[in-house]
Amino acid sequence: MNEYGDYSAKEQLQLEVCQRLISEKSYLSQEEIRRDLQYHGFDSISQSTVSRLLKLLGVIKIRNAKGQKIYSVNPQSRPAPDAARSISEMVVSVEHNSEFILIHTAAGYGRAVARILDYHQLSGVLGVVAGSSIVWVAPREVARTALVHKQIKYLLKSHDYSYRTVCHG
């Protein structure tokens, strides 16, 4: 995922995680973002680094339904989804608990990844729900969640074709 230019791998990962966090949760302060980034493995991240990440991501403050000012990724600064992007570039992480599988994607690719799962009609999948950057997968049997998780990870990492190939080709 090199949509952020010539940054180091660590900086790219910081940008991607920061963008995902802001897309998924409401933050009132940079300190809250810094604490969550620390929780996600960036132990020594400083407030100035968080400020720089927010600037690079084009993050703005908007009012939520409660009237609070929260950080948000500016929809105008998000990269447009690229149908030629490989599946492995779309997927940030695939994780599960005992009941469902959650796939985090680069911003704007959730529905594309869900469509790929639908296309492959995995027998262990009961249903798929997608948002902009997250896909929720319900296994047919919760006792087989770990197996379905493994199948999905294999499917999404083992194919080097694009969304366009699967859905339009």
Residue 50 has a pLDDT of 93
In a domain, 1, yes or no: no
Q: Which residues contact 126 (CB under 8 A, 6 or more apart)?
A: 138, 139, 140
* CATH assignment at residue 48: 1.10.10.10
Residue 136 has a pLDDT of 95
Residue 158 has a pLDDT of 58
Residue 85 has a pLDDT of 59
* CATH assignment at residue 143: 3.30.1360.40
98 and 156, same domain (yes or no): yes
Residue-by-residue pLDDT tens, the chain, 169 positions: 444 444 567 788 888 889 888 888 889 999 999 999 999 889 889 999 999 989 888 888 888 778 888 888 766 555 555 555 577 677 878 889 999 999 988 777 888 889 889 888 999 999 999 988 889 999 999 999 999 999 998 888 755 444 444 444 4
In a domain, 158, yes or no: yes
- How far the first Cα of the chain sits from its last, in Å, is 23
Domain span at 140: 87-168
The residue among 112, 110, 148 whose CA lies nearest residue 130 is 110
Residue 57 has a pLDDT of 83
153 and 93, same domain (yes or no): yes
Residue 19 has a pLDDT of 85
Only one residue has tokens 């991240």, namely: 45
Cβ atoms within 10 A of the Cβ of 90, count? 23
Number of structural domains, the chain?
2
